[in-house]
Amino acid sequence: MFFLISPSEAPVTTPLTVPGFQHRTVLLDEAVDALQLDGARASGIYIDGTFGRGGHSRLILSHLDDTGRLIAFDKDPQAIATAEQVNDPRFSIVHESFATMKQALAARGISQVDGILLDLGISSPQVDDAARGFSFRQDGPLDMRMDTTRGMSAADWLASVPEQQLEKVIRDYGEERFAFQIAKAIVARRAIEPISGTRQLASIVADAVKTREKGKDPATRTFQAIRIFINQELEDLEVGLSAAFDMLAPGARLAVISFHSLEDRMVKQFLASKAKVEQPDRRLPIRAADLPQPQMKLVARIKPSDDEVDANPRARSAVLRVAERLGGGA
């Protein structure tokens, strides 16, 4: 997620620098290499599902020839503003979730693509900007929306969500074993005063959580859960994976980078379901040519190197999974 400029202007390893923030794209080379952009594939059509600050997009464009195309998606208005500065006729940006890729590309007359990259993480500028409300490490308004132009903020949702639903969100999306205590504490506090700041919420959670893993802030799982719910991240991922599979041409690859266990589990299970087939009863008279065939081939599971984690600790939890669409059709 770097600022997108031409390959001649800066090396691809240069991290994005914007006022007050810096971002390093995780698994940059590994993810783009997985798409196999060499040879005839350099003239294909590709999707970058999360433009962010343009790191993956910039590297993909550096591999494409003059006839190649890259269509990127992002919900974040700041990412869209960065992408709109790109002066490249091969590139276009869509201010929507990647879950809308089928509709967005159909409007452009495109039904198949030659590769799709989905980076499911939030960017460092989003986390480090206190005004976005994603982090408990700095005090800021409790927003958490990736798209600040629409939808309900975390503060508005916490003001009215029923306690049982809040507990379920924290438990299911944060995998938080103290979800009951945290939900109860939040509901009790909002009866006294509005919960509108990140430090305020983090303090409530810390008081409710009596033990926590060494080195992990008590609010980590709760903030993750609320962010996932507010942005419908898992719903978007479910729809986006299905759409990506439908749009991949035979031989095209899907590369997905996830950053927490809920995402990675969904990706793993989806790809596995497309890579296996139900075997028919051996006693049935079925010709070999009529046997069901797998629809995808699992290619790789890649973790960041030790050097990348040392340079960027936020890469530690990342997992890249790669699969290839086979020619058998759906």
Residues annotated in the binding site, as ranges? 54-56, 74, 98, 119, 126
> What token pair was written down for 248?
């991949």
Report the C-alpha gap between 123 and 84 in whole angstroms: 18
- Please enumerate, by residue number, every residue annotated as part of a binding site for S-adenosyl-L-methionine: 54-56, 74, 98, 119, 126
Q: Are 186 and 195 a contacting pair, CB within 8 Å?
A: yes
Q: Are 190 and 158 a contacting pair, CB within 8 Å?
A: yes
Strands 16-18 and 113-119: unpaired
Length of the chain: 330
Q: Are 153 and 133 a contacting pair, CB within 8 Å?
A: yes
Report the C-alpha gap between 119 and 255 in whole angstroms: 8
Torsion of Cα atoms, 316 then 319 then 320 then 324, to 10°: 170
- Which residue type, as a one-letter code, is found at position 327? G
**Vertex 241 angle, CA 147 and 47, to 5°:** 70
Residue 234 DSSP code: H
Report the C-alpha gap between 299 and 34 in whole angstroms: 9
